[in-house]
Amino acid sequence: MNENSKKQLKKTGRPLKNDPAKIRYTISFNEEEHARFLALFDQSGMQVKAHFITSCIFDKTMKSVQIDKGTVDFYMRLTSFHSQFRSIGVNYNQIVKLLYKSFSEKKASAYLYKLEKQTAEMVQLFKKVVEITEEFDKKHLKNSLKNDSENRKK
């Protein structure tokens, strides 16, 4: 008789779900983060915080970035190039000060004229670098972002 009553107890209650949510994660907030979370939760109009968190995680698109070695190399060289331009600017200011201290105004002006020509050439070179960078951005970076979004849709 005990066996029959145990079997009956198991059948009572709510029916079991096909795919129960058994895996749990916990997070900790400080006071400011908790206030922001509650404000977002209230704005959502949802009744259950777990459903709100789930919708935030799975319904919003996440950006993933693939690291291309060629792109990283290009970026590093471009950064190095930019730092060299900055150091040239610092040196440029130092040269102008030295020219006016060390030489007469006429001689300093002559040297500055030559320096201006070199600077104009450098500006043209920098414009070419910017054009090449924009071209690289259009060809490679935009295409890789487009391919990523297409792959997610599939």
Per-residue pLDDT of the chain (154 residues; tens, 9 = 90+): 556 555 555 567 888 889 888 888 888 999 999 999 999 888 888 899 988 888 888 887 655 566 778 778 888 888 888 888 888 888 888 888 888 888 888 888 888 899 889 888 988 988 888 888 888 878 776 665 555 555 545 4
pTM: 0.42
- CA angle 22/28/32 to nearest 5° reads 140
**Residue-level pLDDT at 65:** 61
- Residue 130's identity, in one-letter code, is V
Is 122:115 a contact under the CB 8 Å cutoff?
no
Tell me, rounded to whole angstroms, the distance of Cα 18 from its chain centroid. 40
What does DSSP assign to residue 45? T
Q: Where are the domains of the chain?
A: 19-60, 69-153
* Alpha-carbon torsion angle 64, 145, 60, 54, nearest 10: -30
Is 115:92 a contact under the CB 8 Å cutoff?
yes
What are the residues whose beta carbons fall under 8 Å from the beta carbon of 37, sequence distance 6 or more? 29
**Residue-level pLDDT at 154:** 47
**Residue-level pLDDT at 147:** 54
CB count in 10 Å sphere of residue 143: 10
- CA angle 134/135/140 to nearest 5° reads 105
